[in-house]
Structure 1
Amino acid sequence: MEQLSAMDASFLYFETANAPMHIGGLTIYDQSTVEGGVLGFKRILENYETRLHLARSFRQRVVRVPMSLDHPYWIEDPNFDIEFHVRHIALPKPGNWRQLCIQVARLHARALDTSRPLWEFTVIEGLDQVEGLPPGSFGIMSKIHHAAIDGVSGAEIVAAIHDVAPDATPVPPEKPWVPERDPNVLELLSRTYVNNLRQPFKLAGVVASSVPALAKVGIGLTAGKLKTAGPVPRTRFNTAISPHRVFDGRSFPLSEIRAMKSAVDGATVNDVIVTIVGGAMRKYLESKNELPKDSLIAMAPISVRADDKKKAAGNLVSGMMLAIRTDIADPAERLTAVFQSTKSSKELTNAIGAKTLSDYSQFIPSTLSGLAARLYSNLGIANRIKPFFNTVITNVPGPQIPLYMTGARMVTHFGLAPILDGMGIIHPIFSYCGQITVSFTACREMMPDPDFYAECIQSSFEELKAATTGAEVPSVKPAAGPRKKAGIRKQASAVRKKVKPAAQLTA
């Protein structure tokens, strides 16, 4: 039995009916690399079952302390059932990209069952008319609660279910798995009593270590040596959210992103991605006649993991605020401004200490957090107060070598993430095998036309590419309102072609 940290527990406390707090993704696989060319669902299920020992999140469930007097605990679930967590569905005909995005958004909108281990994988077949995919491709939509993992610790899950060769076999467990019994009330309250005695001493230590840094920041801001990201304007994405979701994304060659960053000395891949997202949000809001005068502000999560915590589960993150320069029309000028904004934000974050906010989060009161989250949602407070930021851009570097799941080659991966009241759109970024995907999850009421926003992302990429490398900008640009989307780009080739109907997964 292991207690959740305050930060991990906060994702349970802040979950509401309209805001389930899980992360995940849509991963697409090519089953032609499987022996025989056909992969059955039972084989997928069996393969996952042989790997449960490789990531502790798979069989752990939450046990709450009575009256929420302390943070919950993880226990090894004695009633674990893998068939509850791995499901199997198919798209209706014709099975195109738009249908896939809608189905993924519906699955993502549903909260996980907190009485069971906090994850679900759904195998999706029937991707018959998705342009650019190899014949026989299928998807797996993953959902894992944010209380269990962050972007970095999620790498443990990726490593657990994938191999670097199609015929690899998982390492067997060193010892048999042993479930745990549910702790009784007396045990939980006894632990709570001891923890509460320790808290004041822990808080005193954190305050003592952070006071010098905070004083330095105050002096730096007063003297103008440090700068904040700027005011946060209100947009359509910064009000109370509905329970409905939309999802979409685009894929780009990582080599082209790297070529773009060379236009600004010192710029990074992340600066280019932020510039592309800034351009896309500018285009989208401009088409609605809702573009604010001030730049939109994004929160970028920062890992604060020490080397000895690289494989630890849970959340070890902080964050910094970035101006994504939606106030600048020229893409090359926007990249330069984003680079300067990122540089200033890093200086401010380093002065405070990225780990400081993470340390203070350990003292979130367990009793009041859930109540505060429910009141914030039920009273529509997000509609009345100034937003803290406009969106989140979270970049998770992935492996640059091919991965395989039950022998099927991983073709591409698009991220999924939670949204909140006051922050109705989030942009997960994932790189894999020479490609980088820019996806988004948003409230359907705020963004009724996700395919159009995906076109805005594509157009922003093309314009920045032309401005930084001299490439030609396509003549067709996104118009206001929904547009028919061609689909994701092919990973293995620049040549586009329609694929044949995909082979069905066998039972």
Structure 2
Amino acid sequence: MEQLAGLDASFLYLETPQMPMHVGALHLLELPADYDGDYAEDLREHMRSRLPQLPALRRQLLSMPLGLSNPGWVDAEPDLDEHIVEIALPEDSGMAELEALVGELHPQLLDRARPLWKFHVFTGLAPGPEGQVRVALYTQLHHAAVDGQAAVALAQVILDTAPEPRSTTTTPARGKRRSAPGKLGLLRTAVSQQLSQTLKLARNLPGAAGVLGQMAASYVGGAAAGATLDKLRGLLAGVASQTTAVVRGKTGLSQLGPAPRTRFNVSLSDTRSFAGVTLPLAELNRTRRRHHASLNDAVLFVIGGALRRFLTKHGPLPRKPLIAAVPVSTRAAGDTTSNNQATMSLMSLGTHLADPAARLAHVMASSRAMKAQMGQLKSLMPTDFPSLGIPWLMQAGAMLYGRARVAEKLPVIANVVISNVPGPQLPLYLAGAQMLTNYPTSIAVHGLALNVTVQTYNQSLDIGLIACGEAVPETAELAAYVETAFMEFQALAVVEETPEPAPVVKKRAPAKKTPAKKAAMKKRADPVLRRTPKAE
């Protein structure tokens, strides 16, 4: 048995009917025009051949006695008839019908008595432009098992780069088989995990203190000792609340404060609204390079522009800028472990600025400040921690939080979640079908009723918008505003910076020659006087 780390287990404890904690995507798939098979059955056979290399899909939860500690993973063989299901849509259905069905399916919680994943195959779609057979796939993977980067690693095993699936070995992935221990063994495991987590946290404290000390030294910049303590307290308070300081520059920004309250900052219902939109990646990259912006800057600018238009119509548009909660991966390069390794930062979207150029400069300044802070704070964000009593507290807290509508009473820290996950840049195939789209479906939580997740795929930027169906039923309209904001980005003129004038160097007046200086100059000029006498 392998016990879940604290961060992974948190997604289990926080899950309620109003806050499902699974992620996934909606894929539009295309098969040859002469295909007459059963794609759901073809997909089951395909997954059966790949499962030996997918340990994350062959494990289920085992709870600890009395919920004293985090549950563990034990090996389990999934019943593919239950995990891959077919749903027939009315003939010639399109994206509108798919998006509506994803909105209906997303609130359905995964069965914890089985491995925590499920695939839905949709048939009945309108054919492609040349008669190609089209189907769709909506995937669900619990966030306790994977984060965005881990899901990409799973996709690399499941998907192929050609219509003909590659041959794979049937040898199971390496690793000790995780079986369920007895009750006494479970109790020992729970106690052992608490000790291990406590010791690990204690070992990391000196390093964390060192990082904070370095940040404080940089922050105070040689200030007087009396002011140092006050500034350090302010720094620690900023770390605790994850309020990102924004550098003062052309945009006139100083610091992010509490976010304005919007229609997104409410308690959730058990309904969801979903929409997807695709932007051309090559054109987005050409545009952002003209402005010396990163891809993440471009994404935040476009989404911020769409939100500004949406709130201008549906109101009210706050006078303060919207704040985005942006997940930041802490995963080391090459790490494909199926778990969660991420933290959260805050970014200003500049939605209070009508001028697009000023808004882009605002976003880029906010991004630079966030990167400067997160480079040091990544090491301070633990993914595992002692969990004694945490299951009871978090589960009760999550239920109470929604029922008491606490989100409407607390100050707003962020308005929307925006996540950017890098993906493959070539066409991929699943059980012989070409994948045309990859619209992510992520998590909305109480107080953050809208989640926008972006993933690059095959020279496209696929964007999935998932929201509470009562708070934001107009996700399709918001998706259309994303396209409008992208066109605004393309049309944005490049602001040439005026070079600063060269500094004027003033000639110093020649210094007056004193008698001593005159004598020294005469000595340097006379070769006889420069000669050093020999010692006798």
Give the Cα–Cα distance (whole angstroms) in 2 for the partners of residues 303 and 212 of structure 1. Answer: 22
Tell me if structure 2 keeps the 8 A contact 1:238–1:423.
Answer: yes
Q: Which residue of 1 aligns with 2:166?
A: 169
Counterpart for residue 337 of structure 1: 362
2:192 pairs with one of 191, 194, 197: 194
Residue 355 (str. 1) matches residue 376 (str. 2): no
Q: Which amino acid in structure 2 is aligned with residue 4 of structure 1?
A: L
Q: Within 1, Cα distance between the matches of 2:36 and 2:300?
A: 40
Other structure's SS at 1:234 match = coil
Distance (Å, rounded) in 2 between the aligned partners of 1:333 and 1:425: 25
The CA distance in 1 between the partners of 2:490 and 2:75, in whole Å, is 50
Quote the residue 2:287 is aligned against. Answer: 260
Aligned residues: 463
- Asked whether the 8 Å contact 1:318–1:355 carries over to 2, the reply is no
Distance 1:133 1:15 in 2: 44
Q: Which residue of the partner structure matches residue 309 of structure 2?
A: 283
Distance across 2 between alignment mates of 1:404 and 1:433: 12
- Of the three residues 428, 449, 454, the one matched with 1:403 is 428
SS across alignment from 1:362: coil
In 2, the alpha carbon distance for the partners of 1:19 and 1:134 equals: 40
- How much has 1:37 moved relative to structure 2? 6.8
Q: CA deviation at 1:357?
A: 1.6
Deviation at 1:176, TM superposition (A): 9.6
- Report what 1:152 is aligned to: 149
Partner in structure 1 of residue 46 of structure 2: 47
Amino acid at match of 2:61: V
- Which ranges of 4 or more aligned residues in structure 1 deviate by more than 6 Å? 131-134, 176-179
Between 140-149 and 333-342, report the one with greater CA deviation: 333-342
| Greater Cα radius of gyration, structure 1 or 2 | 2
The alpha carbon displacement at 1:181 in A equals 4.8
Q: Which of 240, 244, 269 is 2:267 aligned to?
A: 240
Provide the rounded CA distance (Å) in 1 between the counterparts of 2:397 and 2:472. 27
Letter in 2 for 1:17: P
SS at match of 2:262: coil
Unaligned runs of 5+ in 1: 471-507
Structure-1 separation of matches of 2:211 and 2:204:
11
Counterpart for residue 27 of structure 2: 27
Helix, strand or coil at the partner of 2:209? helix
1:99, 1:446 → 2: CA distance? 20
Q: Which amino acid aligns with 1:390?
A: N
Q: Which amino acid aligns with 2:85?
A: R
Distance change (3 Å), C-alpha of 1:200 and 1:43: closer
More divergent stretch after superposition (173-182 vs 202-211)? 173-182
Query: What is the aligned partner in structure 2 of residue 454 from structure 1?
Result: 479
Q: Is the 1:65–1:71 Cα contact (8 Å) retained in structure 2? A: yes
How far off is 1:191 after superposition? Answer: 0.9
Q: 23-32 or 254-263, which moves further after superposition?
A: 254-263
Shift of 1:14: 0.6
- Counterpart-to-counterpart distance in 2, 1:412 and 1:382: 34
* Gap change, CA 1:385 and 1:133, over 3 Å in 2: farther
**CA-CA distance at 1:254 after TM superposition:** 0.4
User: Shift of the alpha carbon at 1:375?
Assistant: 2.0
SS in 1 for 2:268: coil
Equivalent of residue 432 in structure 1, options 448, 457, 482: 457
Q: CA deviation at 1:212?
A: 2.7
Equivalent residues in 2 for 1:75-474, closer than 5 Å: 75-77=74-76, 80-128=78-126, 135-175=132-172, 181-218=179-216, 220=219, 222=231, 227=246, 228-265=255-292, 267-307=293-333, 310-351=335-376, 353-359=377-383, 362-363=385-386, 365-468=390-493
| Displacement of 1:437 | 1.3
- Match of 1:153, SS state, is helix
Distance 1:337 1:113 in 2: 44
Q: Take 2:133 and 2:483, find their aligned partners in 1: how far apart are those partners?
A: 26
Percent identity, aligned pairs only? Answer: 30
Whole-angstrom CA distance in 2 between matches of 1:395 and 1:217: 27
Query: Partners of 1:468 and 1:8 in 2: how far apart?
Result: 45
Cα distance, 1:98 vs structure 2: 1.3
Q: Deviations over 1:311-360 (max 9, x none)?
A: 11110111221111111122232222111110011112123x2131234x
In structure 2, C-alpha distance between the alignment counterparts of 1:233 and 1:4, rounded to whole Å: 36
Unaligned runs of 5+ in 2: 221-230, 236-244, 247-254, 496-536
Query: 2 CA distance for matches of 1:75 and 1:148?
Result: 13
Distance 1:403 1:299 in 2: 30
Q: In the TM superposition, what is the alpha-carbon distance from 1:173 to its structure 2 partner?
A: 2.3
Q: Is the 8 A contact 1:31 1:38 kept in 2?
A: no
Q: Deviations over 1:365-416 (max 9, x none)?
A: 3442222222222222111101231111111111111111111111111000
Cα deviations by residue, 1:6-35 (Å, 9 ceiling, x for unpaired): 1100000110120110000001111028x8
Q: What whole-Å deviation, never above 9, does each CA across 1:83-112 have from its counterpart, x for those lacking one?
A: 110010122244122111100111112111
**TM-score after normalising by structure 1:** 0.86
The one-letter amino acid of 1:275's match is F
| Aligned mates of 1:346, 1:133 — CA distance in 2 | 47
How much does 1:39 deviate? 5.6
The structure-2 alpha-carbon separation of the partners of 1:323 and 1:134, relative to structure 1 and needing over 3 Å to count, comes to farther
> Which residue type is aligned with residue 442 of structure 1?
A
- SS in structure 1 of the partner of residue 443 of structure 2: coil
Which amino acid in the other structure matches residue 362 of structure 1?
A: F
Q: Distance in 2 between matches of 1:469 and 1:38?
A: 53
Measured in 2, the distance between the counterparts of 1:297 and 1:38 equals 48
